[in-house]
């Protein structure tokens, strides 16, 4: 199996992230029970952010852990692209991202009133 050093080298950040994820998950479930969808969405999103923080802090500087041994792990310096490629992709993403965000906002605006939960009526016997 894969061996990680999440608890050996990064005990405090691992425990803080895990406790935070549990608390946020409980808060999200409680928000759903109280029909507070916005808070449930926010708490769920924060849970995912904490999960990403946990993975990055626990794996750094590795990207993937090898099952053969630590000598075969893929490190960030081995997995990254060249400096030129990173510059070109950064500029391309920065120029295209506003269009993607504008299109997404426009789509939400167009469909804002078309999606609604139907009212359920209970018929008495």
| Helix, strand, coil distribution of the chain in percent, nearest 5 | 70, 5, 30
**Using 50, 70 and 90 to split pLDDT, how confident is the model at 125?**
low
Residue with tokens 């769920």: 44
Phi, psi of 74 (to 5 degrees): -90, 120
Compute the residue count for the chain.
Answer: 125
CA dihedral (34, 35, 41, 44) positive or negative:
positive
Write the pLDDT tens digit of every residue in 42-80.
999 999 999 999 988 888 888 888 878 788 888 999 898
| pLDDT surpasses 60 at 23 | yes
H, E, C per residue of 31-87? HHHCCCHHHHHHHHHHHHHHHHHHHHHHHCCEEECCCCCHHHCEEHHHHCCCHHHHH
Q: What pLDDT, on the 0 to 100 scale, is given for residue 116?
A: 64
């Amino acid at each position: 199996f894969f061996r990680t050093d999440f608890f050996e080298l990064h005990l405090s950040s691992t425990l803080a992230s895990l406790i935070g994820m549990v608390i946020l998950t409980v808060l999200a479930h409680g928000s759903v029970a109280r029909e507070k969808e916005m808070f449930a969405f926010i708490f769920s999103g924060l849970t995912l952010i904490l999960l990403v923080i946990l993975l990055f802090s626990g794996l750094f500087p590795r990207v993937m852990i090898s099952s053969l041994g630590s000598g075969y792990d893929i490190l960030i310096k081995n997995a990254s692209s060249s400096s030129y490629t990173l510059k070109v992709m950064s500029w391309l993403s920065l120029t295209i991202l506003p269009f993607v965000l504008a299109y997404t906002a426009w789509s939400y605006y167009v469909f804002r009133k078309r999606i609604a939960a139907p009212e359920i009526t209970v018929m008495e016997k």
